[in-house]
Amino acid sequence: MQPSERLSRIPPYLFAELERKIADKRAQGIDVISLGIGDPDTPTPALVTEALAEAAADPGTHRYPSNRGRPELREAVAGFYERRFGVALDPATEVIPALGAKECIFNLNLAFLDPGDIALAADPGYPVYTGGPLLAGGEPFLMPLKPERAFAPDLAAIPADARERARLLYLNYPNNPTGAVVPDGLFEQAVAFARAHDLLVVHDASYTETTFDGYVAPSFLATPGAKEVGVEVFSLSKGYNMTGWRAAAIVGNAEALEAYWRLKTNIDSGMFEAVQLATVAALSPAGDAAAREMSGLYQRRRDLVCDALREIGVAVTPPGGTIYVWAPVPAGHTSTSYCEMVLEESAVVISPGGAYGPNGEGFFRISLTIDDDRLREAVERLRTSLGAAEGRAA
């Protein structure tokens, strides 16, 4: 048996490796606390599970769905975009359901890249922005995200050859892994850049509903001209505690959505209609409060983690959104050596920044998705064993 050459072009998925390491430790009887993957620990809101139960009992939802999605879902997404972002969408042509943002982003690579084409991807960034282009036969071109530029890519610094070959530009704010919110003017620059180079902007809006300190994240599509050059992928995974549901939507440029839809009709058979109807409930005005409540929870946890990190001498900038804290590793460590030491000394899993791209080196990521007691315990372990380790190093 010989897996394809294509598959050998990508490294193993980060969390597959982490899961293996955690399993090894647990097999040795060690109580490991994982602050690795970002998977909300609290349940999906009751209004969503109740809508699912009702819809799942209706035989009308049991047959093959359409890749276009039910009209109720497309209308609910459009209603949410109008209410939440002030963005008008045509439910008939500018909204299509997706089986999670990951599926959607991966498949956009298949829909838009030919061999030799480039997808411009943030470094550090969500791994699918780089693995997706490689699996699709194209190439990722990395755009460094640096703290001194507020984690905005420098579009003007992209070399001419890469600009000419670029067909896709990935953006993601609030940003995984850095926790940055969109820097002023970046969306406007992206629209101008896309017009100048005839490419599609894909804004990954997986974290717009998880923001702190009163900040309200905008939609890329609220930027003048954005709909002519771009799409947005809106996921319910993080904001609504729905990672297991595989519920998302792609919205925006109708031509791009048509290409995605054509591809998808050959790949999968759409989203279970009961999940579509549960998603309608999540996106109703009654669902807004659930997302706001989750932001409050993560803000509390963010403060807990940032205070503890500062106490052990880590110069962390609190994130404006997302479910992550991104912090510099202490001097003398690489991101991997630091994360390995943390695992060994305190049985706490954190993610090495280098796994998100070369410019993630020198940082580590903590996910805020475990319950408050375990998070407190993890923080205490970091404070005692690592505080002591830093003391020994000094």
Ligand X SMILES: Cc1ncc(COP(=O)(O)O)c(C=O)c1O
Enumerate residues 6+ apart whose C-beta is below 8 A from 57: none
**243 in contact with ligand X (CB under 6 A):** yes
DSSP, collapsed to helix, strand or coil, labels residue 128 as: helix
**67 in contact with ligand X (CB under 6 A):** no
**385 in contact with ligand X (CB under 6 A):** no
Kindly tell me which of 117 and 204 has the beta carbon lying closer to ligand X.
204
Tell which residue, 291, 278, 292, 293, has the closest CA to residue 76.
278
**101 in contact with ligand X (CB under 6 A):** yes
Residues near ligand X (CB under 6 A), total = 13
Kindly tell me which of 237 and 295 has the beta carbon lying closer to ligand X.
237
Phi, psi dihedral angles at 241 (to 5 degrees) = 55, 50
Question: In this structure, are residues 242 and 48 in contact, taking their beta carbons and an 8 Å threshold?
Answer: yes
CB of residue 54 to ligand X, shortest distance in Å: 24
**232 in contact with ligand X (CB under 6 A):** no
**127 in contact with ligand X (CB under 6 A):** no
Q: Which residues sit opposite 248 in a β-bridge? A: 98, 235
CB of residue 243 to ligand X, shortest distance in Å: 5
**245 in contact with ligand X (CB under 6 A):** no
List C-alpha distances in Å: 223 to 185, 190, 195.
10, 10, 13
Enumerate residues 6+ apart whose C-beta is below 8 A from 133: 109, 113, 117, 118, 119, 121, 139, 140, 168
- Cα separation, 328 vs 316, in Å, equals 7
Only segment of 1-9, 98-106, 259-267, 367-375 that touches ligand X (CB under 6 A): 98-106
**367 in contact with ligand X (CB under 6 A):** no
**365 in contact with ligand X (CB under 6 A):** no
Binder of ligand X out of 44, 109, 210, 237 (CB under 6 A):
237
Phi, psi dihedral angles at 184 (to 5 degrees) = -55, 130
The binding site for ligand X (CB under 6 A) comprises 38, 100-102, 126, 172, 176, 204, 206, 235, 237, 243, 248
